[in-house]
Amino acid sequence: MLVHLPIGGLILLAVMELLALFPRFKDAAQNRRVILAVVLAGSAGSVACGWLLAQSGGYEAQLLFWHRWTGIAFAAACVLVLWLARPGRLAAYRIALLMTLILLVVAGHFGSEITHGRDFLSRHAPASLRALLGQSAPPKAAAVPADFRKRQLYAEVIRPILQDRCTACHGPEKRKGDLNLDSLANAKKGGENGPSFVAGEADESQIIERILLPLDDDQHMPPDGKPQATAAETGLLRWWINLGAPEKGTVGDFKPDADVLRMLEGMSSGKGPDGQRSKKSKCVSVANRSGVR
Ligand code: HEC
């Protein structure tokens, strides 16, 4: 609701301003400052919520970057427009309003690409129109680089997640709760409380249950204050367990749906609160992550 309120409000205002150009409706936009105040409040709230949501990770870094900054620029532009909306400044006000409207479309478009996927506008368009837009390949293949599909699901996706988030405490050296998540065989064996996962039943699996517990719960994993698994990482772990926790096979072999591909994309895009998993900068990224949370 927050994010759509400024969109509706600003478009309504633009329509009223257009009407006000005709003598018959010259009073149509009399209450522009009221509408602008509501739009401004909505966009400030959206920026705050968006910023928090971005911390949860799992979003493609590049799209997130553009959405974040065009969104903030939009909120700033609303302040300017509100300030200009007074007698004597009508021309400047109208130009600023038009610019803000364009910014709104751009910021909104990045936002919807984040939530619905990059090609959401053309995904269901007829092939001829897609060709015109330069998107002749089938939508899913176009949306995701092929190399995700070639990766070994356990060895190159799942194990690195466990190593990043868990094996500092559940590895060959330290085995908290007598649990070693470093190899599949050991993970299967589990710890003091039995197997760490049930193949095919992610939601019955200890590792997923514990990750999903509230942060302040004693049983939550990784413990509060340690770098946390992102939404994308958790989603991939669940997907893998629900597939039966296979050790062999590429991502492509398991027919990932659009959600899974987006999680993979979010994980490997490199930058952003979510993607810092390069081995070299581990200390730095661990510090960053615990700073964020
Ligand atoms: C900072 C250290 C630390 C990290 C990192 C950590 N854990 Fe733990 N974990 C513990 C400790 C300590 C226990 C034992 C106390 C308990 O059962 O809560 C434990 C227990 C567990 C258990 C219960 C084992 C059993 O059979 O009793 C599971 C399952 C688990 N952790 C999963 C995970 C997963 C999955 C991750 C990574 C996403 C993770 N942990 C990361 C410290 C950690």
pLDDT tens figures, 50-76: 999 888 766 677 888 999 999 999 999
102, part of any domain: yes
pLDDT (tens digit, 9 = 90+) per residue, 182-200?
999 999 999 999 999 999 9
What pLDDT score does 94 carry?
94
CB contact at 8 A, 227 and 286: yes
pTM of the predicted structure, to 2 decimals? 0.53
Q: Within this chain, do residues 123 and 207 fall inside the same structural domain, yes or no?
A: no
Q: Is the CB of 171 under 6 A from ligand 1?
A: no
Helix axes 61-84 and 90-116, enclosed angle (nearest 10):
160
Confidence bin at 289 (pLDDT 50/70/90):
very low
Domain limits for position 10: 4-131
Q: Is the CB of 234 under 6 A from ligand 1?
A: no
Q: What's the pLDDT at 275?
A: 38
Q: Which of 82, 110, 131 is the last residue of a domain?
A: 131
If asked whether residues 259 and 180 sit together in one domain, one would say yes
Ligand 1 lined by 198 (C-beta under 6 Å): no
Tell me: pLDDT of 8 over 60.
yes
Is 181's pLDDT higher than 80? yes
User: Which among 164, 166, 218, 289 is the best mutation to test ligand 1's pocket, defined by most ligand atoms within 8 Å of the CB?
Assistant: 166
> Total structural domains in the chain?
2
Tens of pLDDT, residues 69-102? 999 999 999 999 999 999 899 999 999 999 999 9
Whose C-alpha lies nearest to ligand 1, atom 35?
207
Q: Is 256 in the pocket of ligand 1 (CB under 6 A)?
A: no
158 pLDDT band, cuts 50/70/90, is very high
User: Who contacts 114 (Cβ-Cβ below 8 Å, separation ≥6)?
Assistant: 59, 60, 63, 64, 67
Q: Residue 65, Cβ neighbours under 10 Å: how many?
A: 16
The answer as to whether 136 is a domain residue is: no
Q: Are residues 123 and 164 in the same domain?
A: no
Q: How much is the pLDDT for 48?
A: 96
How far away, in angstroms, is 170 Cα from ligand 1 center?
7
pLDDT averaged over the chain? 84
Q: What would the two tokens of residue 88 be?
A: 């004597």
Average pLDDT of the residues in 251-257: 92
Average pLDDT over residues 142-152: 69
